[in-house]
Amino acid sequence: MLYKNLEGNKKRKMKIICIGRNYEDHAKEMGNVTPKHPIFFLKPDSALLPKRNPFFLPNFSEEIHYEVELVFKIIKVGKAIESQYANKYYKQVGLGIDFTARDLQKKCKEKGHPWEIAKAFDQSAVVGEKFLNVENIQNINFSLQKNGEMVQKSNSKNMLFNIDEIISYVSKFMTLKIGDLIFTGTPAGVGAVNIGDELTGFIEDQKMFNIKIK
Ligand code: ZN
């Protein structure tokens, strides 16, 4: 019975896969070495910030950082996908923010604990509503403005592991399902947000999201 109740929710379950240290400039600013394979962690579906909602600073952290990231949506179920076929599993690219409780993450790292309290909390995953078709997935300019000032800017060609390599690596360990999202890591320039701030993300010249911090 309990099982039936749990499964009764018709909304499709999805997971959010996030890649860490995927841009050399960001790995350096955090004092991390660049990895030899993709590093990933998960956010649950409850981490998604509902559309058009502001982001409310949680009371358990004194240091919430923005991380702007290109986001890919999985369109086909797959497991153990070879990177040469990975492009069949996504079609479009979007933009999001991987909100991070940096103070909690530092403590977790020091102790060698998992990162969930710093990364998987409610509203920590912002995904713009629009997803775009792009000609060349290896050459996408994206940026983030805080209060109208550019704070992060990069291009998908700067990823240490491209989306096809990420899909191949992650799908060795877990099945990718339709609707899953992959956050592909953030470039340098991460920083704290405060009440009243406004974050606006762009792919090329297209505005992808606008979030108010409350
Ligand atoms: Zn991130």
How many A from CA of 3 to the centre of ligand 1?
33
How many A from CA of 209 to the centre of ligand 1?
17
Query: For residue 23, what are its two tokens?
Result: 């841009």
What does the alpha-carbon distance between residue 187 and residue 101 come to, in Å, rounded to a whole number? 17
How many A from CA of 194 to the centre of ligand 1?
19
How many A from CA of 76 to the centre of ligand 1?
24
- CATH number of the domain located at residue range(s) 2-212 in this protein: 3.90.850.10
How many A from CA of 5 to the centre of ligand 1?
33
Domain boundaries, the chain: 2-212
How many A from CA of 184 to the centre of ligand 1?
7
Report which of 102, 98, 94, 89 is spatially closest to residue 71, judged by C-alpha positions. Answer: 94
- Give me the pLDDT at residue 13, please: 86
Ion ligand 1: residues, CB < 5 A: 67, 98, 186
How many A from CA of 98 to the centre of ligand 1?
5
Which distant-in-sequence residues (6+ apart) come within 8 Å of 59 by Cβ?
Answer: none
How many A from CA of 19 to the centre of ligand 1?
6
How many A from CA of 10 to the centre of ligand 1?
29
How many A from CA of 70 to the centre of ligand 1?
10
How many A from CA of 196 to the centre of ligand 1?
22
Per-residue pLDDT of the chain (214 residues; tens, 9 = 90+): 444 444 444 566 899 999 999 999 998 998 888 899 999 999 999 999 999 899 999 999 999 999 999 999 999 999 999 999 999 999 999 999 999 999 999 999 999 999 999 999 999 999 999 999 988 999 999 999 999 999 999 999 999 999 999 999 999 999 999 999 999 999 999 999 999 999 999 999 999 999 999 9
- Give me the pLDDT at residue 10, please: 52
